[in-house]
Every structure is written in structure tokens, then in C-alpha cells.
Structure 1
Amino acid sequence: MKTLPKLVAISVLALLAIRADAKSNFDIIANLDNGPGNVTVTDNGRIIMSLHQFYQPKFTVVEYKDNTIVPFPNREMVDADSKAAMKLDSVLGIRSADGIVWMLDNGMRSRVTPKLVGWDIKADKLHQVIMLPSPIAPKDAFVNDFTVDTRHNIIVISDPAGGTNAGLIVVNLKTGKVRRVLEGDSSVIPENVDLIIDKVPIQIKDNSGKLNRPHIGVNPITEDLNNEWVYFGPMHGLSLYRIKADDLANEYMDDNILASHVERYSDKPISDGISIDKDNNIYLGELAENAIGVITTDRKYRRLSQCPRLSWVDSFSFGPNGDLFAVVNRLHQSAMLNGGVLSAKPPFYLLKIHALSSGLPGR
């Protein structure tokens, strides 16, 4: 196995997991040279991350191992047929469950059909590939994050798409059938709120050179450990919603009826990925304030930590022993979201957060 020393720089502080500051609620586990996308931690403690496509990484998925990172899956162990089936282009969403690491490839770098790829880490072989063709994933799709429900045998994907056509995608893992639901529902489309970080607004430069402030639809998504409720909401939105997993798994339920079953759960700040513990506390990054917060079971949001280093906390995942991991990637300083100007510089971070309770590895 070949390591990639140039992709990661581990400081003495990171090696010792020294607390970022005396009053913080997190530890810096690693300083990374490449901007991470999402993170998942398997039930045996393997830390696997996507590298964010906005930073044009050489590899799209890597494993943090022995204080460095290596490509995942190990290219030397992938046979020719698996390589042909996988062809990972631009993975962001990544989750693990029951020995399978699921990777959501949005295909945007090479403009190829999005797909969901499952890799069996016990057998070290390809488990399943499920394509997400149009109109399930429309031309402006940005399939981003997802949750794995092993009770209903489904995966639910968030797709902010173009905003007004945002929706959820439900994948039946047994049959491979895929459905797009709740498209354009008020629970998934963005609200008219701008994201401003350190007094600088998020801006995208269009083909004419004009700067626009994007409003991004449904992105954060997770599910409680009993596989009862799926929680989700627009990234640019101040509300978190939920719906019964039974309803999402029901392939015969009319979309209008499904929409009537969505309930507003709580307030939330503008946020990216989320996770949940066994007591149903929901963790998220408060992007505008360089902070990490939690929505507790009284449905109230409160801040856990605020620090300049918490500069776009993107994704969370519980690991074994109750540990909660997260990544910091400063996406607002990527050229994509900074008006075409790349200002983000390493290090980016892999964090361990002091959660209120333990959770399920991979979620």
C-alpha cells in the first residue's frame, strides 16, 4: 500500500490531540493539506473521508490511517471489473453501515451520471452500484448527503439541485429502485437568506462574470437510531424538518400525501451536514458564526463551541466508543463560493467533538 505524504501534514499538536483551546468542545485530530468533503467512521474505527471537489483533489475518497491518508478503496486491491464499475468521479456524501461504505458520486467534475457505490470493507470488494439517472437526478442535481436506513433497507439522499426543484431521492437497496420525492416542497427549497461569514458573503461568479449569492436547498440529513424519523432541511434555511421513515419507504404513497406528513421540527442556523446521537440530540455546524451547535430534545438550538478554526464545519460522523468526528474545509474560501478567488489555505481539520451522548458508528 502506498501512502500519500504530500496530502496530509500532521502537527505535534494534532498527534497529541491537544484541545484547540481551554474552553473548547473539540480536539483537532489531524491537520490536512487537502480540503475534506464528508467523513464516516466505521464500527471498527476506520476513518474514511471524501475530498471536496471544489479543491480539485487527485483522489476523491481517502482513508485516514497511521497519521496519514491513503486512497480508498486501496487501488491495489480493486480488480479490473470493480474499477470499471466504480470509476469514482466526485464523491461528497459518504456513510457506513453494516460493513458497507457507501459513497455518493455526484459526477459533476466529468458531467457523468450520478451514482451510489457501496464497498464491502470486510471482503474488500465492490458491493453494489446504483445509478441515479435523469429525471431522478435532474441536470442541475447536486446529490450531496444521505442517510442509510438498515431497518427499511433504504438510503435517502438530499439533492439541493437548482433550488426550486430541490428534493429527496429514496433508494431501495434490495431492488435498486430509485424515486424522487418532495420536489419543490417548502421543507426542501431554500429560504431567502444569505450566508455571510467573517463579513464576507458567499458568492458565485456566473459565465458572464456577474456575482450572485446562492441559496442552496436541502442538504443536511440524518435519521434517529431507531430508524423512525428522518431529519432534513435546506442549507440556506432556518428550519429543520422531519418525516417518518415508514412514509419515505412507502413506494405507493402519493407525493402530495407524503408532503402532508412532513413536520417542522425546530429552528436551525444555516448549516451543512448533521448527525444525531442515541438521545436524539442533533449536531451541526453554524456556518455564519464559525461554530458547532446542537438541537437538543427540547427542540432548542444552542452553541457548543465557537472558534476561528471552526471555519465551515461540513460533516459529522459518530465512531465507536461514542466519539463524534467532523471535518472543517472552509468552503466559503474556495474559488467556487468566493467569487472565483481561491483564498483557502491548509491546514484543514479533522476534529473530534465532545458529544452529549454516544451515537451509531457511520451516522
Structure 2
Amino acid sequence: MATLPKLAVVSFLILFAIGAKAGPNFDIIAELENGPGNVTVTDNGRIIMSMHQFYQPKYTVVEYKDKKLVPFPNKELADVDSKAVLKLDSVLGIRSANGIVWMLDNGMRSGVMPKLVGWDIKADRLHQVINLPPPIAPKDEFVNDFAVDTRRNHIFISDPAGGTNAGLIVVNLNTGTVRRVLEGHSSVIPENIDLIINKVPIQVKDKSGKLVRPHIGVNPITEDLNNEWVYFGPMHGHSLYRIKADDLANETLDDKALASRVERYSDKPISDGITVDKDNNIYLGELAENAIGIISSDRKYRRLSQCPRLSWVDSFSFGPNGNLYAVVNRLHQSATLNGGALEAKPPFYLLQVKALATGLPGR
């Protein structure tokens, strides 16, 4: 008879564990008609998103305001049909810091030079434009995401490019100088692994029309809240790396010296954008499993939530009050990554994720 209470306790614990595993740690705060790219949330709570170029959006950057999307910073810059001399063509990476929203325009829709555009949201005016000409951004560039270093006034950009020539781009915001570093290093080039979601492989058409399974280089990138370490890795890769921001910003280090400063940090799944909180938990989307997970400070990965609605979690950003936001865009069902067949249908999602600790707004 004494064993019955023990069995009951064990059964309760098993049920609790199952429930805890299945329970979502996110809320859908907006259903979107068009596929988002990346998201940033300013320190006063403005939610600003790039719209993913794979879905040919009318506006390249929007603000989620009063439960609808409006062009950001204005129609003149954000509208693809704008006749303005300066306009945004194909923005993916987007971050905010110190009142500036930074937008990384890869220029791929129109074949124009990629550029980094900063908009002052307090003064509501253009802050800075930095062009990324070749060879800083090669012909097959896909400048994708970036981290803003507010201590050194630098930006570190990930460029998966053609895979074997993937690299990082270091931007000195004080001088406007740009450098390409770590090109072809093992920490930035993709591994020979395929991304398969719901038993369907990611496939693109090459120039001959043949279907191939792409392997994408460095994409996820973030910096800790102390502006000490920059974390990055190939999208198609099972390793996350890090390097000290001081070393990345050091213009006197040659390629060999800089490469020697790169550390393998942890295992990771195939993933897109990442962010980090004050306790050094790194958040990411586990693309193959429709999941959100973290790499904790002990360098171990675990899932936080798994759900069919978490179908390609692309980007994260902390906002004020410790809130963590993310976007879902189902890129594997876009025509670009689905062998030419568009299967993605709205709604796409803007999420609020229950973070384990607070983070820095805009990051």
C-alpha cells in the first residue's frame, strides 16, 4: 500500500513534464498578410520589421503600429516603386540602438550596391549611409544580418555570399571605413548538411534550372550585452563561434592573427537569426524542427518550444521591459527555397516569446 503514493507522485511528475514540454512559451501578437524578414524593437517600444524580399513586398521596411503595417521610415524610402535618389531596395537585417534604426539593404532585387542606412527616429531624419562596394561585398553577396556595438561604435555584418567566400564585414561608424574579414574561414563557411523541414528538403533552382540543395554560410550573429563577445556561425552548420569585439574592431590584425582569435563556442542546430539576454542565453530558431531553443551559458542547447506555427523563426529582438519578439516567415515554402513553387500562405506571425532573462532593446 505504501507504494501507491509513490506511483501517484511519479505519474504526476511525468504528466507535468509532458505538459511543460508541450506548452508554448510564445504568444502571437499579430497575424501578417506578408512575410516578414527581421524585427527590431526600439527602447520606446516601436516594432519595426523588414519585409522579406523572397515575397516581393511593396514596402521593404514597415512599422507595426495601431495593429497595422505602415512604411518605415516613410513611403519615399520604403516603397519599391519610389523614384527617390535614396531608397531601400531589399532590406533584411534591421537593428536599433541609441535612437538610430539601422537597416541593411542587400540591393539584390534591383542589382544595386548594398548599403547600410541609419535613420534617427528621434529627429525623424536620415542619420548615415555607408555603401558596401566590392570587394567588401562581392558580386554574390547576401549581406544578411548584423550586430551593433555601441561601445566601439561599430557594426559587424554577416555575409554568407556564395558559401566558400562567406565572411564578416566590419563597419567603423566613426570613420565610415569598411573591411571584409575571415573570408573563407571555417567559422563562416557552411557545412555539408541539408535543411529538411517536415520531410521536404530546401531546394533552389540553379542557372540551368536544376534543383540543388543550398548550403548557406554565416548568417546568425549577435553580441553580448557587455559588448565583449560577438557570436556567429553558418546557417547550415552545427557549430556556433565567437570572437572578441576588440579583435574584430582591431584594424592592425591581419587575417591569420584574426583567425587565431576565433573560438568554437557550442553546438547549435541549423538556424537563422539569433539574440542574447543579460544571462548570456542565446535564442535561436531550430528550423528543421519548427522550434525555438536556447544555448545557455553552460554552452548547451535545449528547446524552449516546438509548434507547427514556429515554421521558420527568422529573427529575434528584445524590446523594453524584457519582452522578446520574433517573426515567423516560412521561407522554406517561398518560391526561392521551394524549387520555384510558392506554397507559403498567410498568416505569417509576429510573436512575443517568454524570455528567461531580460535583454537589450533593439538587439
* Shared fold (TM-score, shorter chain, > 0.5): yes
Return the alpha-carbon distance in structure 2 between the equivalents of residues 24 and 66 of structure 1: 26
Residue identity matched to 2:106: N
- The answer for the alignment partner of 1:93 in structure 2 is 93
Is residue 317 from structure 1 mapped to residue 317 from structure 2 by the alignment? yes
The answer for the alignment partner of 1:264 in structure 2 is: 264
For residues 282 and 96 of structure 2, what CA distance do their matches in structure 1 show? 18
Contact 2:77/2:88, CA 8 A, preserved across alignment = no
Asked whether the 8 Å contact 1:169–1:180 carries over to 2, the reply is yes
State the alpha-carbon separation in 1 of the partners of residues 193 and 222 from structure 2: 23
Partner of 1:139: 139
Aligned-partner Cα distance in 1 for 2:186–2:148: 23
Give the letter for the 1:257 counterpart: A
In 2, the alpha carbon distance for the partners of 1:68 and 1:86 equals: 25
The CA deviation at 1:74 is: 2.4
Structure 2, unaligned runs of 5 or more: 1-20
Shift of 1:22: 7.7
Contact 1:103 1:116 (8 Å CA) reproduced? yes
Counterparts of 1:84 and 1:185 in 2: how far apart (Å)?
39
Structure 2 counterpart of 1:41, one-letter code: V
What secondary structure, in the 3-state scheme, does the structure 1 residue paired with 2:39 have? strand
Mapped partners of 2:66, 2:197: distance in 1:
34
Rounded to whole Å, the distance in 1 between the matches of 2:27 and 2:294 is 17
Q: In 1, distance between residues paired with 2:209 and 2:95? A: 36
Gap change, CA 1:155 and 1:83, over 3 Å in 2? farther
In the TM superposition, residue 77 of structure 1 has moved relative to its aligned partner by 10
Distance 2:165 2:22 in 1: 45
Residue 104 of structure 2 corresponds to residue 104 of structure 1: yes
Q: Aligned partners of 1:235 and 1:214: how far apart in 2?
A: 11
Q: State the AA in 1 paired with 2:120.
A: D
Q: Whole-Å Cα distance in 1 between the matches of residues 255 and 84 of structure 2?
A: 36
Residue aligning to 1:181: 181
In structure 2, the residue matched to 1:305 is 305
1:236–1:270: 8 Å Cα contact kept in structure 2?
A: yes
Structure 1 counterpart of 2:145, one-letter code? D
Match of 1:148 in 2: 148
Q: Residue 40 in 1 paired to residue 35 in 2? A: no
Could you give the per-residue CA deviations for residues 254-299 of structure 1, whole angstroms, max 9, x where no partner exists?
1110000000000000000000001110000000000000000000
Count of matched residue pairs? 340
Contact 1:86-1:117 at 8 Å conserved across structures? no
Q: Measure the CA separation in 2 of the matches of 1:151 and 1:244.
A: 13
Instruction: List structure 1 segments (4+ residues) > 6 angstroms apart after TM superposition.
Output: none
Identity of aligned residues (%): 84
| Aligned-partner Cα distance in 2 for 1:327–1:66 | 18
Q: Which residue of 2 aligns with 1:347?
A: 347
1:208 Cα deviation (Å)? 1.6
Query: What does 1:25-64 align with in structure 2 at a 5 Å threshold?
Result: 25-64=25-64
- 1:337 matched to 2:306? The reply is no
Report the CA distance between 1:23 and its aligned residue. Answer: 1.2
List gaps (5 residues or longer) in structure 1: 1-20
Q: RMSD of aligned C-alpha atoms? A: 1.5
Aligned equivalents of 2:46, 2:63: Cα separation in 1: 7
TM-score w.r.t. length of structure 2 = 0.92
Q: 1:76 to 1:189 in 2, by over 3 A?
A: closer
SS in 2 for 1:288: helix
Cα distance in 2 for partners of 1:219, 1:77 equals 25
Q: Does the CA contact (< 8 Å) of 1:242 and 1:262 recur in 2?
A: yes
Shift of 1:207: 2.4
Instruction: Report the AA paired with residue 204 of structure 1.
Output: V
Give the equivalent residue in structure 2 for 1:277. 277
Assess if the C-alpha contact under 8 Å between 1:86 and 1:129 holds in 2: no
Q: Counterpart of 1:122 in structure 2: which amino acid?
A: K
User: How far apart in 2 are the matches of 1:157 and 1:323?
Assistant: 25
Deviations 1:173-208 (A, max 9, x none): 000000000000000000000000000000001222
Residues 222-276 of structure 1: CA distance to partner in whole angstroms, max 9, x if unpaired? 0000000000000000000000000001011111100000000000000000000
